[in-house]
Amino acid sequence: MNAGKRNARDAALAGAAVEQSLAADHIPPASRKMLWRERIFKALLIVSLLVGMAVLAILVIDVLSDGLGTLNLSFLTSFPSAFPKNAGIESAITGSLWLMAICAFFVIPVGVAAAIYLEEFADRRRWWNRLIELNIQNLAAVPSIVYGILGLAYLVRGPLDLGRTVLAGGLTLGLLVLPVVVISSREALRAVPGSIREGAMGLGATRWQAIWYQVLPAAIPGISTGAILSLSRAIGETAPLIMVGAATFIAFNPTGLNSAFTALPLQIYNWLSSPQAEFKILAASAIIVLLMMLVAINSVAIIIRNRYEKKW
Amino acid sequence: MSQAGAVKAKADATASVFARSRPRYGELVIRASLVIAALITVLTTVGIVFALASETISFLGEVPLHDFLFGTTWSPLFEPPSYGVIPLVTGTLLTTAIGMIVGIPLGVGSAIYLSEYATSRTRKFFKPILETLAGVPTVVFGYFALTVVTPWLRKIGIEVDAFNALSGGLVIGILIVPTIASISEDALSAVPQGLREASFGLGAGRFQTSLRVVVPAAFSGIIASIVLGASRAIGETMVVLLAAGQRPNLTLDVREPVETMATFIAATGKGDIPTGSLDYKTIFAVGALLFVMTFILNIISTWVVNRYREEYE
């Protein structure tokens, strides 16, 4: 009688203990040694994440403490100069904006169209469609300097012969981020459920009408988030622009597609490779501007994602 | 009317119900332009391969393949010039190796934490940090290597040159952490929950479960992430261009400056060298070697990733 009661109570206690350990998301280890191993392992894992965080923090603090002093309105509205005191980044900012616009004009239509083909039309059983997919996966991992070589050989010189112009730079960056746009747009299209297409086609829409009037509008938030993020990658790229642009001293804003240009990352690189310490400080100021542009662009992407993305 | 004729007539009638009322040429045009857009991606690859191959072949017409691949002196601007690519390759492998020593433990460790330990709250905190790290332009990392890491190495007593392989390699390691972490985390998260529960049920803790059960089950994915990280490290340009110098240097001493393949391409492409000159062709020859190396790594990585995905679906 008494024993039965005690058993029931023990069982209840044990049950509570199990629940507690599950609630704490922690499996009780068998021994003290194991416990310490658990703790050390977990601590090491956290440290590995904290290193990345610390680097970011040190980077930001260092850039701010070096560059904030020389960051003022005249820095933003002056052209590069041989004298650190007069040098600024107006032509670099306008150059970067031109590059971004050209890149967007090229990569968004092409990237989204390629994604629509692969996601909505392509038959995955055909080898050539699988080849296109594999090719895009691989292009996404080709080093950016190789795109610079491509731009130099075919856009700046060779068949297109555009010269060292902002158009050649923007198109090179466009080719560079094209795989990223295709991959993210495909994911956005895939997230639209098949029932939407079937519903539209059941009401008599053709395949393209279903895509254009139903699928694409539903996928636009996802597509634009991916496209904006890829543009932010594009304006941070330096290596391909060194190959394509290379103009070190541009004291004017681009006036058209055939204009010579500089860009923020290029200007930062030029200042960093100068032996004068004053220019390294200017590089830090330019980095602050570049990072602020990236933060602004990415915030737009995040806002679009959070506000408009539908959950099906 | 013969029987066969009747059957055919019936089949035609059935077909006409389902056939389109009229051919839709507009849709065909749209579809064709979508195909063209997809083909632009293929054309990019073809363009890269063709540009590199044609100039490299013409380069090899002037410099024997054996001298290029196995020569140990790289001095294209000296008289007489020497085109042995080995110092550029060792420079690349040296910075890559340092990067991997840093990047693999940090990346895989971050992935294990995010997948096996993190609650949804800590994930929400750490995940954006990795994404931010991935979004920092490489020229900014170059600034960091040059103005923070190199002085700091000197402060702790490592006598590095102003430009050195060590600080470039260390920062490349940080740079590839997000690449390794995100792909490894996908692989770890794809391991079925049942395996973990079985391991806990046998009395294993999280440490044993992570290292003996989950990591081995996701091993191919983790390898794929590391291979892709190595490919990024080999092709990384700005960090080494700014922090590791531009001296072709056949050395394993990490305190000395080295020139990597990507550094050479960028430093040479910067100048206004005439099309068709031997200097111009060297860019493509070195570029071809870089492309082949990263391409092989990328193929291995995508192959492993695609294979492992099929396993768990």
Q: Kindly list the domain boundaries of chain A, sorted by start residue.
A: 23-70, 71-308
Q: Which domains does chain B have, with CATH numbers?
A: 3-62 (no CATH), 75-312 (1.10.3720.10)
Phi, psi of B75 (to 5 degrees): -145, 70
Question: What are the backbone angles phi and psi of residue B20, rounded to the nearest 5°?
Answer: -65, 150
Is A38 close to B148, i.e. CB distance below 8 A? no
Per-residue H/E/C for chain B:
CCHHHHHHHHHHHHHHHHCCCCCCHHHHHHHHHHHHHHHHHHHHHHHHHHHHHHHHHHHHHHCCHHHHHHCCCEECCCCCCEECCHHHHHHHHHHHHHHHHHHHHHHHHHHHHHHHHCCHHHHHHHHHHHHHHHHCCHHHHHHHHHHHHHHHHHHCCCCCCCCCHHHHHHHHHHHHHHHHHHHHHHHHHCCCHHHHHHHHHCCCCHHHHHHHHHHHHCHHHHHHHHHHHHHHHHHCCHHHHHHCCCCCCCCCCCCCCCCCHHHHHHHHHHCCCCCCCHHHHHHHHHHHHHHHHHHHHHHHHHHHHHHHHHHHC
Mean residue pLDDT across chain B: 88
B8 pLDDT tier (thresholds 50, 70, 90): low
Q: Work out whether strand B74-75 and strand B82-83 pair parallel, antiparallel, or are unpaired.
A: antiparallel
Confidence of residue B80 (pLDDT cuts 50, 70, 90): confident
A9 has a pLDDT exceeding 70? no
Distance in angstroms (rounded) separating the CA atoms of residues B225 and B305? 8
Paired with A90 in beta bridges are: none
Each residue's pLDDT tens digit, A105-163: 999 999 999 999 999 998 888 889 989 988 998 999 999 999 999 999 998 887 888 88
**Domain A71-308 indexed as CATH 1.10.3720.10:** yes
Residue matched to tokens 């080999």: B234
Can you tell me the distance from the alpha carbon of B133 to that of A27, in angstroms, rounded to the nearest whole number? Answer: 33
The confidence score (pLDDT) of residue A238 equals 93
Euclidean distance between CA atoms A110 and A104, whole angstroms: 10
Q: CA-CA distance, B220 to B232, in Å (whole number)?
A: 18
> What are B82's strand-pairing partners?
B75
Task: Give residues with Cβ within 8 angstroms of A206, minimum separation 6.
Answer: B24, B27
| Chain A contact for B186 (CB, 8 A cutoff) | no
Q: Do B42 and A144 touch (CB under 8 A)?
A: no
Q: B33 in contact with A at a CB cutoff of 8 Å?
A: yes
How high is the pLDDT of residue A248? 67
Sign of CA dihedral B179, A239, A149, A107: positive
pLDDT at A24: 46
Q: How far is B160 from chain A (nearest CA, A)?
A: 18
**Minimum distance, in Å, between the CA of residue B124 and any CA atom of chain A:** 13
B68: closest CA of chain A, how far (Å): 20
Of residues A161 and A213, more confidently modeled: A213
Question: For testing the chain B interface, which of A26, A36, A45 should be mutated: the one with the most B CBs within 10 Å?
Answer: A45
User: How many CB contacts within 8 angstroms connect chain A with chain B?
Assistant: 262
> Is the reported ipTM for this assembly greater than 0.90?
no
User: What is the DSSP-derived secondary structure letter of residue A85?
Assistant: T
pLDDT at residue number B82: 87
d(CA A96, CA A79): 14
Mark which residues 240-279 of B lie under 8 Å from A by CB. 241-242, 262, 265-266, 269-272, 275
Q: Rounded to 5 degrees, what angle do the CA atoms A66, A70, A71 make?
A: 100
Task: List the 56-95 stretch of B: residues with Cβ below 8 A of A.
Answer: none
- Tens digits of residue pLDDT in A267-309: 999 999 888 888 989 999 999 999 999 999 999 988 888 888 7
How confident is residue A96, by pLDDT bands cut at 50, 70 and 90? very high
Return the residue of A nearest to B284 by Cα.
A149
